[in-house]
Structure formats: structure tokens, C-alpha cells
Amino acid sequence: MASKILTSLIRILFLGVLFVFIFYPDRFHVTFQYPGAPQSDNVYIRLTKTFFWLLIVIEILRIFYYGLVKTKARGLMANVATIAVPLIITLIFLENIFMYIPQSHEGVLSKASQIWWEKYWAPVNKLGYRDKEITRQTGAKQVLVVGDSFAAGHGLENVSDRFSDKLEEKLGKSQYTVYNLGVSGADTRDEVKRLETFPVKPDVIVLQYFPNDIEKAGREKGLSVSAAAPYGDLKGPMATLVKRFYLPNFIYWQLPHTAFSTFEKFVQTAYTDTTVLNAHLRDLSKMVAYKDSTGAKMYAVFIPFLFQLDKSASYTKPVEDYLRAHGVTVVTLNEDIAKLPDKDRVVGKNDGHASAVLNGLIADRLFDSIKKN
């Protein structure tokens, strides 16, 4: 029995070397090439980790069996081992389970959100958009929806729940083809470039506008945002544990953390500072110029901060007024959103992006405006 325990210990020693290589590849300057690397583990990396943990469990059980059960050991150490071994194995199995549980967050910061991104961020076309491939449908009017993560459908598992896809259904796919050019983190300048380079000339342009679209202009004019860094409240071994392992990472992101941010002050200042606002309006003027050059009808749907509706409306009013003055139909949602319960506005407690219910509401308002015009 002693030899069996010894061989298990030797195997655990070799698995320890493998552990460092699998879980700390950066220490060896090793990189794995796949979409999403090194930010997230793809399914093959996670399967490798799963098999690793199963091998560890086998060796622990083997030592437990031959060291305690077979010998019928008694005493304090035997009692401690009897409690510790089931606990360790339970934690290992939970770690394996949470390697495959997706959960969307505001960004792709948590491991659960990385799993979500890999699992649900599809389809992705040849141009890199989360959308269908471009087709040439004779006679159908071409609608281009441009925006940020709200347009791309962050937090929505099915693209059919996005307002762009719902709008296409309402308009009729035989008469309208709707393309989604939404990209997470995009601002007005990015959106103008994407419109200008997109290989389809639009008959209709839909701009999805969010109050942080002014952020780049504000930063260039000297405004700054202070915010707590992710995992900034963790130090030493605890930081490593939470960042690299799925179970503690999942637990960490379910708990409240210091989230000090000056973003609200940043937005308020940006929209009231004429230097920043005028720079932002110049960016929007390029989109208006593109609209005029193509002869497209343009709609702007304003998505507010979903729990600060009145503040959002006051911030973005100058932009609404500018767009209206340049022939853009502005679609506002505040009154409709105010009627929705808080839980129906967002996709989840850790993700403040628009829910499927709210996306449906946006599609309804856009459809009404387009048919009216």
C-alpha cells in the first residue's frame, strides 16, 4: 500500500508541473493562439483543465483509500483527512462546473462573461460584425443600423432578440434588408468610418445613440474619468486565485465592490462644455454628410441611462436638437422605458445592457417612425 501511495504522490508531483504550465502559461512566456486569446480560455483549454482536475481527484482518492480506508486509520489526522478530502473534491468539481457556466457582464471582465462571449457572440460575418453575411437582394431597401454594444446586442443570447433583427421582421425581409454594424465600445467617429466603408449603400440609416458617445471628444479636450480598476480590491494570493480560477471568480463578481467613478460628472460636463460639445457635433456632421451624399433617410434612436432617464434626456438634448435640425428623425424612448419595471429594462443584474423586452420596444418605435415617413 505504501508503494501505491508513493506512486500517487509522484504522479501528483508531475501534475503539479503541468498545473503551472496550464494555469500560469505567461510565466513561461507561452501563448495559445485562438480567437479571444489571451483574454479568455476557449473550450479546448477548459476541457484540458477539466481533465487535469479529474486526474488530481483520482490521485487524491487513491491516496485516501490506501492511506486511510484500507488501513482503517484512526486518530486526529485521519479525522482531518476525512473532512478535508470530500471538501477538496467538492471544490474541484464546482470549479469544473463553473468552467462552463456563462453569464454576461457590462464588459468581458469576468470568466463567466468570457464563456458567455464565446458561446453566444454569433454569428460573426466576414467583416467582423455580429450579423449575417452581406447578400445582394434585388429590390429590397437597405437599412444600416450603426451603434455600440446596445446595437450589437451585448447580453442577448440570440441576435433575433435585437431591435435591428426585430425591425427587419416587422418591415418584411422581402422589402427590407437590415444590417447591424454595432460594435462594443464604439463612438461616433468609429460609426462614421464604418458607414463609409460598408460595401452597401443605404436607403435608411439608423443611429443608435447612447450618452457615452461623446466620450472620445471629451477625453481629447482634457476631460477624464476616474474609476476603480477591476480586481483592484484584491491583493496577493487572493488576486491570483480570483483572476485565474472559475469558481472564486464567479463568486467575486456576484458580490458588491467599490465602483467609484466620475463618469456621470464627465458626461454632464462634456455636454455642457461648448468646446467638447461642438467637437462632438462636428463628428456627427460627418454622419449627416454621409446621409446626404447617399440620399438615405436617417433615424436616431436615443437609448438613455436606463435608470437615470431624466438626466440622460437633459444631457443629450443638444444632440437631439442638432440632428432634428439636419433632417434626422429622432426616436426617444424615455416615456416608454419609465413604464417598464427595472428588471425588464436590462439583461441581468450584472449587465445593464438593454433586455430583449426593451429591444422589442425600440423596434416598435423605429418601425412606427419608418412607416410614418
Q: What is the pLDDT of residue 259?
A: 60
Instruction: Return the H-helix or E-strand segment holding 329.
Output: strand 329-332
Same domain, 278 and 324: yes
Tell me the C-alpha distance between 291 and 93, whole Å. 56
11 lies in a domain?
Answer: yes
CB 283 within 8 A of CB 188: yes
What stretches in the chain show pLDDT beneath 70? 34-39, 227-228, 258-262
Q: What is the pLDDT of residue 258?
A: 62
How many CB atoms lie under 10 A from the CB of residue 113?
Answer: 23
Closest CA to 361 of 320, 307, 303: 303
pLDDT digits (tens, 9 = 90+) for 74-112: 888 888 888 999 999 999 999 999 999 999 988 778 999
239 lies in a domain?
Answer: no
Same domain, 43 and 156: no
Q: What is the pLDDT of residue 346?
A: 96
Same domain, 68 and 138: no
230 lies in a domain?
Answer: no
Q: What is the pLDDT of residue 66?
A: 87
Same domain, 302 and 200: yes
Same domain, 180 and 308: yes
The secondary structure of 241-254 as a DSSP string is HHHH-HHHHHHHHH
Domain limits at 144?
Answer: 116-224+261-372
300 lies in a domain?
Answer: yes
pTM equals 0.89
Same domain, 368 and 313: yes
Same domain, 327 and 204: yes
Tell me the C-alpha distance between 199 and 36, whole Å. 26
3-state DSSP call for residue 297? Answer: strand
Same domain, 212 and 337: yes
Q: At 347, list the grid cell.
A: 439583461
Residue 227 makes CB contacts below 8 A (sequence gap 6+) with: 259, 260, 261, 262, 263
Q: What is the pLDDT of residue 245?
A: 95
Q: What is the pLDDT of residue 53?
A: 97
Same domain, 170 and 299: yes
- Domains in the chain: how many in total? 2
pLDDT digits (tens, 9 = 90+) for 248-304: 999 999 888 766 566 888 888 999 999 999 999 999 999 999 999 999 999 999 999
Whether the bond between 123 and the residue before it is cis, its omega within 30 degrees of 0, is yes
The domain that contains 327 carries what CATH number? 3.40.50.1110
Residue 202: phi and psi, rounded to 5, are -85, 150
